[in-house]
Amino acid sequence: MNKISILIFAFSLTITSYCQTSNDYYNQGVIKNLYNNYSGAIEDFSNAIRLNPKFENAYIERGISKRNLENYIAAIQDFNTVIQINPQNAIAYFNLGRVKFKLNSYEDAFINFDKAILLNKMYSEAYYYRGQLKYSLVDFKGAIEDYSKAIIDSPDVSIIYMDRGNAKDESGDSQGALDDYNKAISLNPKLANAYFNRGLVKRKLEQYQDAINDYNIALEINPKSIPVIFSRAVVKNLAKDFDGSIKDYDMVIELDSQYAFAYYNRGIIKIDLGQKKDGCSDLRRANELGDESAKAAILKFCK
């Protein structure tokens, strides 16, 4: 072999060593997805598909990236392509169901979640999202059943217990809700919404100090959560901690100066405490912001 032939052979080896396979592109796309680089991921998955037009997982991951970019129609096309390639692909039906749910196409969402579960009886995520769909349609009993099925295969996922707790609370099962919130918190002590929701149930049960304690923990995790601060203000008022309630409404208004209900509630407390001028000022501000109940209160208290 002469010198020129050796150089050409070596060059061809170098080129070959840098040629990426469909799996290489796919793996790159998965990593980019993890870092929320969805556009870059789509490019990699498209390259994987170009090299392997029947690469089911590449279509699915590309569809998920498109969904994350709110390009729902394109996402649907990718999931449908997978179903055309392989009508037994449960993951494609599941993801198609999620997009349909997002688009409020509830009947289509049910059809696809049902199909995913038919193909995979232990598909925890499909049960969970079907439960979410049922919850959104006020079918709390059905939601509880699906959340419970999701827990069978995913017993350590805190959010499923929290959402089942929400459904139990809506169904009137306060103790069952508390049990689920407790379990969610034991699995994830940083799950702020579980403390918040548990606090809401305790407020309903008139366990005011316990509710405040839960709100306090939720605020340690997320100090600027307006719903939690507002709810704590309400409970402090119920517990007759009027100064504490006013301070919480102050915090709400500092975070959101357009929060009409905070002005209204603070105004009523101030009037009850004999601070009529300040209280009426709050009521007028609530009225300006569109709180319809403020107008009647102004006529009653602020003549």
Dihedral in degrees, nearest 10, Cα atoms 194, 199, 204, 208: 170
Domain range for 290 = 224-303
- Residue range 148-203, pLDDT digits in tens: 999 999 999 999 999 999 999 999 999 999 999 999 999 999 999 999 999 999 99
CATH number (domain holding residue 284): 1.25.40.10
Please report whether residue 236 resides in a domain. yes
Say if residue 1's pLDDT is above 90: no
Residues 127 and 145: beta-carbon distance below 8 Å: no
**With 90 as the cut, is the pLDDT of residue 16 above it?**
no
In a domain, 93, yes or no: no
Domain assignment present for residue 287? The answer is yes
Torsion, Cα of 138, 141, 147, 148 (10° steps): 180
Length of the chain: 303
Residue 262 falls inside a structural domain = yes
| C-alpha–C-alpha distance, residues 294 and 277, integer Å | 15
Predicted structure pTM score: 0.90
Question: How many separate domains does the chain show?
Answer: 1
Q: What integer pLDDT is reported at residue 173 of this predicted model?
A: 98
57-112 confidence digits (pLDDT tens): 999 999 999 999 999 999 999 999 999 999 999 999 999 999 999 999 999 999 99
The tens digit of pLDDT for each residue in 231-255 reads: 999 999 999 999 999 999 999 999 9
Report pLDDT for 175: 98
Q: Where would I find the beta strands (DSSP E) of the chain?
A: none
279 occurs within a structural domain:
yes
Residue 17 has pLDDT above 60, yes or no: no
139, 213, 262, 280, 292 from 227: Cα distances, Å = 25, 15, 11, 24, 20
Grade residue 303 by pLDDT with cuts at 50, 70 and 90.
Answer: confident
Long-range contact pairs involving 252-259 (C-beta distance under 8 Å, separation at least 24): 252/226, 255/224, 255/226, 255/229, 256/226, 258/289, 259/226, 259/230, 259/289
In a domain, 158, yes or no: no
